[in-house]
Structure 1
Amino acid sequence: MATKSDPNSKLIAENRRARFDYHIESDLEAGIVLQGSEVKSLRQGGANIGDSYASVEKGELWLINGYIAPYVQAKTWGHEERRHRKLLVSKRELSRLWNATAREGMTIVPIKMYFNERGMVKIKLGIAKGKKLADKRETSAKRDWDREKSRLLKQSLRD
């Protein structure tokens, strides 16, 4: 029997370049503090996290440069599109993130933003290390070879 997809859970935005530009060491899920007009805009799918990153500042975790489109119906009480948004994580995770960024030189990159089963907006963060140009070329060559290999296997099975 096929499982029904939950109408509340929905992908809002995805940072597809994150896996190309960074080695993702680990990931975690965080909540995000939003205003009402921001949630309405996210329900319509107006978000971009491609240029954003997360940072630990003054003992709190913040999403910086994340874009949420303005909600047209909220004319007077709208929101700022690229404001810093507070991310909600436990104290243990926050200290782990601070250690990773401050001591180990890692970066906190948002991977995707989505609505979970309860209809709450969540953001998946990756603790990452930046790739060098040679690493990017190696990843691209490996992906091309895997694609070619699967094509050859498929062709040999047909013959």
Structure 2
Amino acid sequence: MNKKSRFEKIINIKNKKASYEFEFIEKFTAGLVLKGTEIKSIREGKVSLTEAYCYFRSGELYIKQMHIAPYSMAASYNHDAVRERKLLLNKKELDKLETKFSEKGLSIIPVRVFLNDKGLAKLEIALARGKKLHDKRNDIKEKDLKKEMSRLTY
């Protein structure tokens, strides 16, 4: 007998712009503190990370400008779409991130939102350094070369 999982739909929302704009140094997985109908909207896949960023406030990590669309089935009990949300990490990870974040030129960027095996919303964040224009050009050249090589093999 096949058991159907409650969380059968795979949610994996990526910030495609981030890998183009930033060079990732280290990645972490953080939990999200959500309110009300936000998890239902995430399960529908209605999340945008394009303008989101993370920052520290009194030793805790928060994400700002992450857009979670209001849930369509909730009437008046809906959530604010772009409120700041607290991220849940271990104390060691927070300390490590905060010391590296204080270095000049480093940022904490959200990379993707996904649901784990238990159905909890998780956010993958990366400690990143902004790319220069010539770095972006090199990435584009490498992608084009890979495409050409894959075309030639067929």
Percent of aligned pairs with the same residue? 33
Deviations 1:43-101 (A, max 9, x none): 11111011101111111100110000001222222111000000000111111111111
How many equivalent residue pairs? 151
Q: Would the aligned equivalents of 2:36 and 2:77 in 1 still touch at CA under 8 Å?
A: no
> Structure 2 counterpart of 1:28, which letter?
F
Which structure 2 residues correspond to residues 66-145 of structure 1 after superposition, within 5 A? 66-145=66-145
Q: Would the aligned equivalents of 1:115 and 1:121 in 2 still touch at CA under 8 Å?
A: yes
CA distance in 2, matches of 1:106, 1:7: 39
> Structure 2 counterpart of 1:29, which letter?
T
- 1:45 matched residue in structure 2: 45
C-alpha RMSD of matched pairs (Å): 1.9
CA distance in 2, matches of 1:62, 1:81: 15
> Structure 1 counterpart of 2:49, which letter?
I
Q: Would the aligned equivalents of 1:30 and 1:122 in 2 still touch at CA under 8 Å?
A: yes
CA distance in 1, matches of 2:113, 2:54: 13
- 1:151 matched residue in structure 2: 151
CA distance in 2, matches of 1:130, 1:71: 34
How far is the alpha carbon of 1:8 from its aligned partner? Answer: 2.1
Q: Would the aligned equivalents of 1:56 and 1:97 in 2 still touch at CA under 8 Å?
A: no
CA distance in 2, matches of 1:38, 1:12: 16
SS of 1:17's equivalent?
A: helix
CA distance in 2, matches of 1:17, 1:67: 15
Q: Which has more radius of gyration?
A: 1
- 1:8 matched residue in structure 2: 7
Name structure 2 gaps, 5 residues minimum. none
- 2:19 matched residue in structure 1: 19
CA distance in 2, matches of 1:137, 1:6: 44
Name the TM-score, length of structure 2 as normaliser.
Answer: 0.91
Name structure 1 gaps, 5 residues minimum. none
CA distance in 1, matches of 2:149, 2:73: 51
CA distance in 1, matches of 2:130, 2:34: 29
> Structure 2 counterpart of 1:8, which letter?
F
> Structure 1 counterpart of 2:7, which letter?
N
